[in-house]
C-alpha cells in the first residue's frame, strides 16, 4: 500500500502519516521506483494502527492533596473527579483568579491622547481629524516634523499644533 492509500485508509493526511513514521508508530519499507524509492506500508500493521487511533482515550483528572480530617498522616490521597466537578471550591478559585486578572488590567493607567507629548500617526490622525495619507505626505515633504522611534512614527505635540496652525 503506497503513502496516499495508507493515509486514506487511516483517515489522516499524508503529512500526519509521515509524522507517525518519524515517531516510530508505523513502520515503512522503501522499494526502488523509477525515479526514487517508494514507501510501502503493511496493510495488517495499518489495520492494527487504525484500531489504536480509533480507541477513545480518557484521562481522569487527579488532584493530590492531604485530607483535612487526618492532619497527622503524611500520605497524600488522590482525589479523582468523575463526570461533573465534585467540589465547587475549584470553580470559586478559578473565578477569583479571573477576577484578579481582569482587575489588574483596569489598574494600568493610560494617558489620554490630549495629554501625550509624543503621538503616533493614528493618534495624530484622531486628534486632528486629518487623514493618514495627508499626515504621511506632510512628513515626507518635511512640513510636519516626525521621527521613527521603534517601528512607528512619533510626532511631537507642539510640532503637530504648529503644523495645524499653518494650514489656515
Higher pLDDT, 106 or 55: 55
Q: What is the pLDDT of residue 156?
A: 94
Q: Is 55 exposed, middle or buried (0-12, 13-18, 19+ CB in 10 A)?
A: exposed
From the CB of residue 135, how many other CB atoms can be counted at a distance below 10 Å?
Answer: 21
Sign of torsion over alpha carbons 155, 157, 159, 161: positive
Overall pTM surpassing 0.75 (yes/no): no
pLDDT tens readout for residues 7-54: 998 889 999 989 998 988 888 898 888 898 888 999 899 988 888 888
Q: What is the mean pLDDT of residues 135-145?
A: 93
Q: What is the pLDDT of residue 164?
A: 92
As assigned by CATH, the class of the 114-167 domain is: mainly alpha
- Hey, what's the cell of 160? 503637530
Domain with CATH 1.10.1660.10 in the chain: 114-167
From the CB of residue 16, how many other CB atoms can be counted at a distance below 10 Å?
Answer: 13
Amino acid at each position: 500500500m503506497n503513502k496516499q492509500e495508507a493515509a486514506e485508509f487511516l483517515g489522516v493526511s499524508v503529512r500526519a502519516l509521515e509524522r507517525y513514521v518519524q515517531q516510530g508508530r508505523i513502520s515503512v519499507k522503501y522499494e526502488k521506483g523509477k525515479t526514487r524509492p517508494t514507501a510501502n506500508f503493511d496493510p495488517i500493521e495499518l489495520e492494527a494502527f487504525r484500531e489504536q487511533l480509533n480507541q477513545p482515550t480518557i484521562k481522569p483528572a487527579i488532584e493530590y492533596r492531604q485530607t483535612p480530617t487526618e492532619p497527622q498522616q503524611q500520605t497524600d490521597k488522590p482525589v479523582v473527579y468523575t463526570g461533573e466537578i465534585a467540589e465547587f471550591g475549584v470553580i470559586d478559585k478559578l473565578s477569583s483568579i479571573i477576577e484578579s486578572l481582569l482587575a489588574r488590567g483596569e489598574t494600568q493607567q493610560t494617558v489620554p491622547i490630549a495629554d501625550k507629548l509624543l503621538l503616533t500617526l493614528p493618534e495624530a490622525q484622531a486628534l486632528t481629524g486629518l487623514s493618514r495619507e495627508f499626515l504621511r505626505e506632510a512628513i515626507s515633504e518635511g512640513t510636519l516634523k516626525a521621527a521613527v522611534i521603534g517601528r512607528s512614527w512619533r510626532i511631537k505635540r507642539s510640532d503637530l499644533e504648529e503644523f495645524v496652525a499653518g494650514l489656515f
